[in-house]
Chains A and B, each alone.
Chain A
Amino acid sequence: MSDQDPIAAFRVEAGDLLDQIEQALLDLSNRLDDRGLIDAVFRGLHTLKGSGAMFGFDALATFTHHCETAFDRVRKGFFPATAELVHVILSAMDHMRALVDGDGSGLEATGAAILGRLQAALPESGTVTAAPETEDAAPEAASEGAGGWHLRFRLPPSALANGTNPLSLLDELRELGECRVVALCDALPPLPDLIPTECLIGWDVTLTGAIAREAIEDVFIFVMDDMDMELTPLASVAIESAAGPAPQPEPGSSLPAAPVVATPATDAAARQAPRAGESVRVPAERLDVLMDRVGELVIVQSRLSQLANSGLIGASGEVALRSISEEIERLVSEMRDTMMVLRMVPVANLFGRFRRLIHDLARDTGKAIELLTEGEATEVDKTVTEQLADPIVHLIRNACDHGLETPEERLAAGKPATGRVMLTAAHAGGEVLITITDDGRGINRERVRAKAESNGLIQPGQALSDHELLQMIFHPGFSTAAQVTNLSGRGVGMDVVKRTIEGLRGTIDIASQEGKGSTFTLRIPLTLAIIEGLLVRVANGCYVIPLAAVEECIELTAEEDRRTRGRSMIQLRDALVPFLRLHDLFDTGAEPDEHQKIVVISAAGERVGLVVDQIIGSHQTVIKSMSGVHRDVHSFSGATILGDGSVALILDIMQLVATGQQREARLRAVG
C-alpha cells in the first residue's frame, strides 16, 4: 500500500518536519523564552539529523547538526534564544530543504555562509563546534590475550528484569572460542530472601584461543558500565584464581538515582508534531484513478439495477437480486461521497507558508507587518492550492513592498505603526474567493497613468475609467526593470499573476483607495472540487447550476411567458431582471414544457434568471473538466457524472450572468 522506498518516505517526512520546525521558529520569534517551542525546534532538528544520516543525506546531517547543537545549548540554558538566532535558523530551513531535495552538491558555499552567520549569532560561550562523534575505543596491544582469557563477571541485579539474558552472553562467549564456565553462587541469599528476578549469580569463564580484548568487551557492551568484571590474559590465571572470589558488588551501587518523572508533552509540542498514523499520503493521480473506477462502478450498478427491475428474472430471483442491487447502490453512493472529499485540502496549508514570507519581508523592508488570515478551513482542490501559491506570494510581496508604508509614515498618516496584510478565503457561487488586502497607501492613480504613458501603453491624456486605469498594472509592458525593487522584482510580474489566475479559469480584481489600502480579489473555479448543484432539465438534457449561485426558483406563468416572448427582462418583485431562455440559448430545437421555471442566479452582484423546463433537485457533484476540444465552449465550467452514469454539464455562472448583462445592455441601447 504505502511506498516501500524509505528514501522517498524520508524526503516527504523531512519536508513535513521542516514545515513544523519553521512554524515553531515563527512562533518562537514572538515568544523567545517559550520552553515548549525551544524543545520542539530542537527535537525537530535532532530527528532530521538522525534520519538524514540514516538515509545517506550526509550533507544535511552535518549541516543540521550545527543548528541542532545551537538549539541544544539554548535548551540547556547556556544562552537564551534571540531573534537573530531564530532568524538564522529560519534561513537555514531553505538550505535544508535544498539538501533534502538534491544531493547537496553546489550548495556548500550557501551552507558555509549560513553557518558563519549562525556562529556570529551565538554568544562566545556557545561556539558551535563540529564535534566529531567518534567512539573513544582505546586500542589494545595486539599480542595481548593471544593464548586466551580468564574472566569473572557479575551482572547488575537488575539485569534480568531489564532484558539482559546471561545465557545469550555466555553463548556469545562460546562463539569466540573454547569455553569453560563455572557459576559463582556465593552471593545467593538464603532461599526465603531470594528475589527470583534479581541476578545474583556470577560466572567464572576460561576462554582459550587468540581472542582480542575488544571482542570480549563487545559481548558485554551494554552492561559493561554497570557490571563487575575482571578480565585477565590466560598466562596469569594461576595468580588470579588464588585471589579468591571477587567481592560482591553492592546492589545497585553503580546506578545513578534517576528521577522517574514522565515529561509531559507541552501544548506546543503536541501541536507541532501531529501523531503519525492520522493521515496517509497518496499520490494525487491514484485518487484520480480511483475516482474513475468509482464512476465506472456507478454505471455497472445502474445496469444491475435495471436488470433487477426488468422482469426478465424469475419472480423469486428478482426479489433477491433487487435487494442486492439496492445494497450495492447504497454502498456505491457512499463510496462516491467519500471519494469526493479526498482530494480537498484546506487553504490553511497554503496560508501557513505566507507567515514565513511576511516574517522575511518585515525584516527585509524594516516595516512592522502583521498577517491576518480568515477562512483557513475553506477547502480547495489540492492542485488549485498549488497553483495559487506563486501568484499570492507575488501579491503579498507587492502589498508589503509598495503598499505598506514605513512605521514613521504610517504614524504621520494617523495609522497604527504596524501594517496589516489580510488574507481571506471563502466559497462563493461555486468558486473560491481569495482576497489579499493591505491597509497601506493604496495605488497612486497619477503614477500609474504616468508610467503607462511613458511606457507607451496609453496615449498621453487618453480618457480611461478608474477600472481601466487600475487594470494597467496587469499589462505585460507596465513593470519595467528600472522600477522593480529588490523585493517585487523577483520572480513574476503582475501580468504573470493575471495569466496564472486566468489559466485556472479565474479572475483577478483590484479595489484600491488612496491612503487606505488595496484589495486584490481572486476568484477561482473549483476545478475538481465538490459543489452542491441544482439539477435542472432543459429539453432532454440535464444541467447542473451551482447551488451557491441560486437565489430563488419561481414559476414562469403561461401569461408571463407569452408576455415576455421576444423580450428578455422579467419583473421580479421590485426589480427588472434579465433572463435567458435556456431552450433558445442551447438551441434545443424542442418545444419548452408547459410549466417552465425560472432559476434566479447571482454573481458579482448581478442577477440573471434562467428559464428551464424542470427543476429536478439538488445534487452533490464533482466538477470534471472538459477536454481541450471544448475549450472554446464558454457556457459551461465543466461536467459531472450523475448517479445513473450519464453526463450533465455544469453551467458557468459568471459567463451566463455576463451574457445576460450584454443582452440587457443591448436592449437598453435599442429601447
Chain B
Amino acid sequence: MTDTTTTSKTPWDDHGNLEVLTFDVGSERLAIEATDIREIVDLLPETRVPGAPPLVASIVNYRGKIIPIADLRIAFGMPIAAATPDSRIVVIETPIDGEATHIGLRTDKVHEVAVLSRQDSSDPPQVGLRWRREFVREFVRQADGVIVLPCLAAIFETAPRQLGSGPLAA
C-alpha cells in the first residue's frame, strides 16, 4: 500500500503524451493506459462471490484463469445498470498486494485508443468532487468532454476493504 503514491502517477512520456484506451462507465468517460490493457472481450458468464465487496462481486473464467470482474460504477458511486449490446469487458493487469493481477472491468461502451496530452490535463479539484479524490488521478479535457484517468491502484488496493462488504467478509 505504501506504493500507491508512485503507482498513482500518470506515466506521461517525454513529450507529455499518453496512449490510452477510452471507454464509458455510466455517464463518465474513462481512460486507462494502453500498456495496462490486456484484452477487450464480450461479456462472460459471471459467478457471484457471496461475501465479496460489491466492487468485485463476481468472477469469470477468462482463458482458463479465474479473474474478478469489477464494476467501476460502485467506485464512482453511480447507480447499477443492466448490460447493453455495447457492453464489453476490458481486461487489465494491475498490481494487487505486489502481484500482477488480471481484472475485468465491466464497461458500457469501448471507444478507441487515443493519445492524450498533458497540456489538457488537470488535477482533480480539492473540493466539490462527487467521488473519492484518491480514486482519480487526473482529468483530461477533450473537445467532446472530460476524460477521467482513474487511479486503479487506489481503487483496488483500498476499495475492497472500505467499500462495504457482504455478510461473510471478516
Say yes or no: is A296 at the interface (Cβ < 8 Å to chain B): yes
Task: Write the chain A residue with the least CB distance to B160.
Answer: A629
Say yes or no: is B18 at the interface (Cβ < 8 Å to chain A): no
Say yes or no: is A517 at the interface (Cβ < 8 Å to chain B): no
B98 → chain A closest CB, angstroms: 9
Task: Write the chain B residue with the least CB distance to A295.
Answer: B64
Q: Assess whether A633 is in contact with B68, with CB atoms less than 8 Å apart.
A: no
Task: Write the chain A residue with the least CB distance to B58.
Answer: A647
Q: Assess whether B96 is in contact with A627, with CB atoms less than 8 Å apart.
A: yes
Q: Assess whether B168 is in contact with A635, with CB atoms less than 8 Å apart.
A: yes
Q: Which residues of chain A (511-551) have a CB below 8 Å from chain B? A: 541-542
A291-313 CB mask vs B (1 if < 8 Å, else 0) is: 11111100100000000000000
Partner of A585, one of B47, B56, B68, B167: B167
Q: Which residues of chain B (31-62) have a CB below 8 Å from chain A? A: 45, 47-53, 55-56, 59-61
Pick the interface stretch among B7-15, B99-107, B132-140. Answer: B99-107
- With A587-B166, A627-B66, A629-B68 known as contacts, the answer to whether A636 contacts B61 (CB < 8 A) is no
Q: Assess whether A632 is in contact with B160, with CB atoms less than 8 Å apart.
A: yes
B134 → chain A closest CB, angstroms: 17
Q: Which residues of chain B (42-93) have a CB below 8 Å from chain A? A: 45, 47-53, 55-56, 59-61, 63-68, 70
Task: Write the chain A residue with the least CB distance to B97.
Answer: A628
Q: Assess whether B102 is in contact with A649, with CB atoms less than 8 Å apart.
A: no
Pick the interface stretch among A68-76, A198-206, A638-646. Answer: A638-646
The CA of A628 and the CA of B157, in the complex, are separated in Å by 9
Which B residues lie within 8 Å of A299 (CB)? 61
A67 → chain B closest CB, angstroms: 43
- With A292-B64, A626-B59 known as contacts, the answer to whether A632 contacts B47 (CB < 8 A) is no
Q: Contact residue range for chain B? A: 35 or more
Task: Write the chain A residue with the least CB distance to B166.
Answer: A587
Say yes or no: is A490 at the interface (Cβ < 8 Å to chain B): no
Which B residues lie within 8 Å of A636 (CB)? 49
Which B residues lie within 8 Å of A294 (CB)? 64
Q: Assess whether A634 is in contact with B103, with CB atoms less than 8 Å apart.
A: no
Q: Assess whether A649 is in contact with B161, with CB atoms less than 8 Å apart.
A: no
B91 → chain A closest CB, angstroms: 12
Q: Assess whether A633 is in contact with B49, with CB atoms less than 8 Å apart.
A: yes
Q: Assess whether B61 is in contact with A641, with CB atoms less than 8 Å apart.
A: yes
A138 → chain B closest CB, angstroms: 66
Q: Assess whether B64 is in contact with A628, with CB atoms less than 8 Å apart.
A: no
Say yes or no: is A32 at the interface (Cβ < 8 Å to chain B): no
Q: Assess whether B63 is in contact with A628, with CB atoms less than 8 Å apart.
A: no
A297 → chain B closest CB, angstroms: 8
Q: Assess whether A627 is in contact with B61, with CB atoms less than 8 Å apart.
A: no
Say yes or no: is B23 at the interface (Cβ < 8 Å to chain A): no
Q: Assess whether B161 is in contact with A647, with CB atoms less than 8 Å apart.
A: no
Q: Assess whether B97 is in contact with A295, with CB atoms less than 8 Å apart.
A: no
Which B residues lie within 8 Å of A639 (CB)? 47, 59, 66
Say yes or no: is B170 at the interface (Cβ < 8 Å to chain A): yes
Q: Assess whether A541 is in contact with B47, with CB atoms less than 8 Å apart.
A: yes
Q: Assess whether A541 is in contact with B48, with CB atoms less than 8 Å apart.
A: yes
Q: Assess whether A292 is in contact with B66, with CB atoms less than 8 Å apart.
A: no
- With A627-B68, A629-B68 known as contacts, the answer to whether A585 contacts B63 (CB < 8 A) is no
Query: Which has the most chain B C-beta neighbours within 10 Å: A293, A299, A629?
Result: A629
The CA of A541 and the CA of B51, in the complex, are separated in Å by 14
- With A641-B64, A646-B47, A647-B61 known as contacts, the answer to whether A632 contacts B170 (CB < 8 A) is yes
Which A residues lie within 8 Å of B47 (CB)? 541-542, 639, 646-649
The CA of A129 and the CA of B63, in the complex, are separated in Å by 61
Say yes or no: is B129 at the interface (Cβ < 8 Å to chain A): no
Q: Assess whether B63 is in contact with A296, with CB atoms less than 8 Å apart.
A: yes
Task: Write the chain B residue with the least CB distance to A641.
Answer: B61
Partner of A630, one of B65, B68, B167: B68
Q: Which residues of chain A (561-610) have a CB below 8 Å from chain B? A: 585-588
Say yes or no: is B121 at the interface (Cβ < 8 Å to chain A): no
**B interface residue numbers (CB < 8 A to A):** 45, 47-53, 55-56, 59-61, 63-68, 70, 96-97, 99, 101-103, 156, 160-161, 165-170
17 contacting pairs across A/B (C-beta < 8 A): A293-B63, A293-B64, A295-B61, A541-B50, A585-B50, A586-B50, A624-B65, A629-B70, A630-B68, A630-B160, A631-B97, A632-B53, A632-B160, A646-B45, A647-B60, A649-B49, A649-B50
Q: Which 7 pairs across A and B sit closest by C-beta, in order of nearness?
A: A295-B64, A292-B64, A628-B96, A586-B50, A647-B47, A628-B97, A629-B56
